[in-house]
A and B are shown apart, each in its own frame.
Chain A
Amino acid sequence: MNEIQDFIINYITENASHNAEGLNEDTNFIETGLLDSYAILNLFITLESVYNIKFTPQDFARPELHIIGQLSLHIKTKMSP
């Protein structure tokens, strides 16, 4: 799980439009406005590609997945057979 979380944090840090310090599992990366529209799209498509998973429209509608820790947990669940 930490590896996924680290991946998300690194992605946000690399693509943030402004200072991205102190990101952790509780950070809501949509509310903080760190990522622009393109970076948000790319994040999800990158996660699908890296972890070989597929997000559904229902996933996107879950506000808890805006939080780094929750999102990484969700990815881990999707990866489980």
Chain B
Amino acid sequence: MAYLYETFKTQALHFAVKTALISQGVSYSYAHILEQADLWADFISSRYSKRPRIALLFDDPFFNITLSLAIAKLDGACIPTNKQMLPAQMENGWQSCDVNIVIYEPIFSSKISACAPNKYIYISTEELNSKHTPLPQSTSSWSHETDYLITLSSGSTGTPKPIVVSQEVKVKRAQQTWDLYNLSDNDVVLCASPYFHSMGQRLIFVPLLLGATVVYLSEFTPNEWINLVEKHKVSFIICVSSHLYALKDALFRNTHKLSSLKTIVTSSAPIDAEFKKHLFEKAGCNFHEIYGATEVAVASKLAPEHATAKFSTVGLPCKDVSIKILNDDLNEIPIGEIGEIAVKSPLAFEGYYKQDALTQSSHASQYFLTGDLGSIDQEGFLSYVSRKKDVIISGGINIYPLDIEKILLSHPAIKEVAVIGVKDTLLGEVVIAICIPQDNNNVEQELRKLANANLATFQQPLKYFFTDRLPLTPSGKISKIELRKIYNPLNKDWTLPLRIFKYGE
């Protein structure tokens, strides 16, 4: 047990003085991180008798890393939390994972104050730092429980889906990435994704379990991204597609500053075929696209050698991964036909925490049903077509329209509402709400207030539209396909302010 911790410890003892993490201009050695993780583990085990199920609420990657390792050492469960969620949403997620301790940075104290006071043990990092001295060790053993890293798939007010990954699978997933891109301890990896996101977790563990160095970028801007790559000679990056779109021109303009880069990988949302083709041709390093899900890790990869002929696909299944395309009856369908992408992987998750029925209904035999539509060609290349489930992907975050619709419908002046994602060149999609009001009163301001109070920032509709009817499917449901056709053309660069403010365009 403590498999991930032991894997890290082996590297930390071997590479003791080497830089493991660079964040905000500060370098942390492997020895320092190991020492701190051991201290936290002593602190937690000597004070709390229950198996630790710890929610982490941090900006600082040093705390996320050292506490995650401490929790791994104790065979506990670690639940990284999205700081953008509202207090009620955080608690909803913690409750779904049976969290018993919440550790947070003082900058989030106002959110913590708004949470139920006696439900969890709250520890701020100030408190953690001031109580270093360990007490006598607890003799509890929880080694029969394997849930380690729990990713909350939705910041919703509905039922969260806690995706459970064991320490062993987390290490194997890192191994998969090392093998896919021939990574070694000489590599320098840039992480520009938050730790609550599976991508952020991956970009932390992939280098640290290998003896490589991770450079952490907490606030993404194209300039800072390029500066860090140049300064620290970053060699490997996995980019969410929204970052890639933001980088687009800067990437091609600054190839001379990016000579250390061996590989760029894109993930988390599809990028358009033309842009992808351009990247393959001009990036000046290996460019890969991967397809996968938090539940099954990387399922397929489009490698540079296939880029010319197959740039519109997401590549071939990875080693030991099997992909099928299924119809609505969960039967495999012929080559070339579109159906649901189902993945069988040795790196699959353990299940959704304490949600056996959901875990079961997400599988057909041993294949995980991704909720994505796609097809496989004669040569086995997978093409992604669209989401099957009603999900918006904005900036790499999965957003569930139903959660937003429920809130907006709670306003007495709203008769019906449909929330959709419209295409956006920066974020992939942006959220809009199309509402049928009870009468002709303009209630946009009230809906915005309602959304502010009840939804996380990434869930709040950017635009509200009012209509007297919504298009329906032949079976009488609201046709979101039709709505997207109508509203996609209306996005006349709504994200321009962001590109100017944050990315300096």
> Which residues of A are in contact with B by a Cβ distance under 8 Å?
11, 14-15, 17-21, 30, 33, 35-42, 44-46, 49-50, 55, 57, 60-61, 66
**Contacting pair B84 A49 (CB below 8 A):** no
- A53 to B463, alpha carbons, bound, how many Å? 15
**Contacting pair B445 A41 (CB below 8 A):** no
- A36 to B110, alpha carbons, bound, how many Å? 17
**Contacting pair A33 B219 (CB below 8 A):** yes
Residues from chain B with a CB closer than 8 A to the CB of A30 are 501-502
Task: Give a binary string over B462-505; 1 marks a CB under 8 Å from any A CB, 0 the rest.
Answer: 11000000000000000000000000000000111110111000
> What residue of chain A has the Cβ atom nearest to residue B459's Cβ?
A38
Residues from chain A with a CB closer than 8 A to the CB of B427 are 37
Residues from chain B with a CB closer than 8 A to the CB of A20 are 110
Q: List 7 A-B contacts (CB under 8 A).
A: A14-B453, A18-B59, A18-B110, A41-B430, A49-B445, A49-B448, A60-B500
The 4 tightest CB contacts between A and B, nearest first, are A18-B107, A60-B500, A38-B457, A39-B457
Q: CB < 8 Å: which of A17, A41, A50, A61 contacts B495?
A: A41
**Contacting pair B496 A45 (CB below 8 A):** no
> What residue of chain A has the Cβ atom nearest to residue B219's Cβ?
A33
Chain B contacts with A in 433-479, Cβ cutoff 8 A? 444-445, 448, 452-453, 457-458, 460, 462-463
Residues from chain B with a CB closer than 8 A to the CB of A11 are 452
Residue B395 at the chain A interface, CB threshold 8 Å:
yes
**Contacting pair A17 B84 (CB below 8 A):** yes
**Contacting pair B460 A38 (CB below 8 A):** yes
B445 to chain A, nearest CB (A): 6
- A63 to B498, alpha carbons, bound, how many Å? 13
> What residue of chain A has the Cβ atom nearest to residue B246's Cβ?
A37
Residue B109 at the chain A interface, CB threshold 8 Å:
yes
- A44 to B458, alpha carbons, bound, how many Å? 15
**Contacting pair A42 B453 (CB below 8 A):** no
Count of chain B residues near A, Cβ 8 A: 33
Residues from chain B with a CB closer than 8 A to the CB of A19 are 106-110
Residues from chain A with a CB closer than 8 A to the CB of B387 are none
> What residue of chain B has the Cβ atom nearest to residue A20's Cβ?
B110
Residues from chain B with a CB closer than 8 A to the CB of A42 are 448, 457, 460, 462
Q: CB < 8 Å: which of A18, A40, A61 contacts B502?
A: A40
Q: CB < 8 Å: which of B59, B445, B453, B501 contacts A60?
A: B501
Residue B83 at the chain A interface, CB threshold 8 Å:
yes
- A46 to B105, alpha carbons, bound, how many Å? 30
Q: CB < 8 Å: which of A21, A50, A61 contacts B500?
A: A61
**Contacting pair B452 A15 (CB below 8 A):** yes
Residues from chain A with a CB closer than 8 A to the CB of B501 are 30, 40, 60, 66
- A31 to B328, alpha carbons, bound, how many Å? 49
Additional A-B contact list (9), CB under 8 Å, known A37-B395, A38-B395: A11-B452, A21-B110, A37-B427, A37-B498, A40-B497, A40-B498, A40-B501, A42-B457, A44-B497
> What residue of chain A has the Cβ atom nearest to residue B493's Cβ?
A57
- A78 to B498, alpha carbons, bound, how many Å? 21
- A40 to B495, alpha carbons, bound, how many Å? 10
> What residue of chain A has the Cβ atom nearest to residue B502's Cβ?
A37
**Contacting pair B496 A57 (CB below 8 A):** yes
> What residue of chain B has the Cβ atom nearest to residue A59's Cβ?
B497
> What residue of chain B has the Cβ atom nearest to residue A14's Cβ?
B452
Residues from chain B with a CB closer than 8 A to the CB of A41 are 430, 462, 494-495, 497-498
> What residue of chain B has the Cβ atom nearest to residue A63's Cβ?
B501
- A50 to B445, alpha carbons, bound, how many Å? 7
- Residue of A17, A33, A60 with most chain B CB atoms under a 10 A cut-off: A17
**Contacting pair B83 A45 (CB below 8 A):** no
A25 to chain B, nearest CB (A): 19
Residues from chain A with a CB closer than 8 A to the CB of B497 are 40-41, 44, 55, 60
> What residue of chain A has the Cβ atom nearest to residue B394's Cβ?
A38
A51 to chain B, nearest CB (A): 11
Residues from chain B with a CB closer than 8 A to the CB of A61 are 500
- A73 to B171, alpha carbons, bound, how many Å? 54
- Residue of B84, B108, B427, B430 with most chain A CB atoms under a 10 A cut-off: B84
Residues from chain A with a CB closer than 8 A to the CB of B500 are 57, 60-61
- A57 to B427, alpha carbons, bound, how many Å? 18
- A39 to B276, alpha carbons, bound, how many Å? 29
**Contacting pair A49 B444 (CB below 8 A):** yes
The verdict on A60 contacting B448 (CB below 8 Å), with A17-B83, A45-B463 known, is no
**Contacting pair B452 A18 (CB below 8 A):** no
Chain B contacts with A in 59-106, Cβ cutoff 8 A? 59, 83-84, 105-106
- A20 to B83, alpha carbons, bound, how many Å? 13
- Residue of A30, A61, A66 with most chain B CB atoms under a 10 A cut-off: A61
> What residue of chain B has the Cβ atom nearest to residue A39's Cβ?
B457
The verdict on A15 contacting B457 (CB below 8 Å), with A42-B462, A60-B501 known, is yes
A10 to chain B, nearest CB (A): 9
- A20 to B107, alpha carbons, bound, how many Å? 9
B302 to chain A, nearest CB (A): 28
Residues from chain B with a CB closer than 8 A to the CB of A21 are 110
Residues from chain A with a CB closer than 8 A to the CB of B463 are 45
B156 to chain A, nearest CB (A): 15
A2 to chain B, nearest CB (A): 19
